[in-house]
Amino acid sequence: MPVWLLIYPVNAKHFGPFKSSFGPIIVEKMSGPFHHPWALAFLPIKNTYLVTERIGSLRLVRNGRISKPISGVPNVWASGQGGLLDVVVDQNFNHNNRIFFCYSEKVGKEKGRTTLATGLLMLGDDAPSIQNMRILFRQYPATRETNHFGSRIVLTDDGKLFLTLGDRGNRHLVQDLSNHFGKVIRINKDGTVPKDNPFLGQNNALPEIWSYGHRNPQGAVKKNNKNLFYTVSHGAAGGDEINLLQPGKNFGWPDVSYGTHYDGRPFPHATRSDVVPPLLFWDPSIAPSGAAFYEGIKFKSWNGNLFVGALRGQAISRILVKDGTAKEVERMLSGKFGRIRDVRIGPDDTIWFSTDYENGGIYRIKPYM
């Protein structure tokens, strides 16, 4: 029988073993501290990855060494839940050095908006930089509220780009297609609008919109072997959702949701015929954030499962997604590492995550033994 004790070697970077359905696992601290790390993105270079800090810094980590803030990052409106948020690496990075990132951009004296940009990441020897930065998308309109930015980016194999956008505290405008609040947008990598977007050419609808009725989707992920796109969204006191996105569809917020408002009031509807229901919902809320499908070999029994980080829930939720359904089957590391912001699958087929604190870190989960 294994002995479930916490291991503290001299460098205090390995933790566990911990129980899981796979068997005993250990957690290894890979780098840190970072100031509220929000996203993690791997480069196609051994032991090299990017980390965004919400205060506005982008860091390069090579062989465990953390760079100074990368130059060329634009000014960031780090207010409330806003800041430097997601970052992804182009599939052809080896040939074009391109990355994509989103951030909250200040507008005037009191307002801000979610902005999506691209640039060339030049690694250099000791001073990495972003060059030829270009804005691809700006949320409309700007607003004073500093919450619910959404801001997960997904690249598709056919050269498209999805970006999730929260309601920014303006839930009464989410069902209106003339703004970007509570929407998922789809654009080409050059910022133009694809010709097959569902609202292109429709009066009083912004052409970038792919779907609407979202509250605060801080998780988004594509299942590679199926080319399906999922979002993971915060509810209020309850009603966190996993949704399978469909073009032009309404996902209900704020009229249709499970759970309750923070003041205890119920929502008008839990279901409605014109609204796509979630595959899974949590009530009460776990405050889900980053998510990743496992498609590796180290954890064979978890292949095809979705892993979702939880802020309030302080755990990683394992979700079985099959035949248009989703079911939570396990919560891992509950309370062991605190608020989990992002989850990614590493090039070594291990599961990586970040913790959302002023001294947050980057960790990976490995099989024990």
DSSP class of 297: S
Between the alpha carbon of residue 318 and those of residues 223, 237, 240, 243, 298, the distances in Å are: 15, 21, 15, 15, 16
Question: Does residue 156 contact residue 227 with C-beta atoms inside 8 Å?
Answer: yes
Q: Are strands 351-355 and 48-53 parallel, antiparallel or unpaired?
A: unpaired
**Alpha carbon distances (Å) from 336 to 18, 25, 94, 267, 332:** 10, 13, 37, 33, 9
d(CA 248, CA 271): 18
User: Residues, the chain, total?
Assistant: 369
DSSP state of 277: P
* Adjacency order of strands within the sheet including 306-310: 288-293, 306-310, 315-322, 325-332
DSSP run (H or E) holding 113: strand 111-122
Task: Note if 148 is an active site residue.
Answer: yes
Q: Which of 148, 180, 214, 234 is catalytic?
A: 148
- Give me the residues paired with residue 354 across strands: 342, 362
- Whether the Cβ atoms of residue 87 and residue 52 lie closer than 8 Å to each other: yes
Catalytically active residues are 148
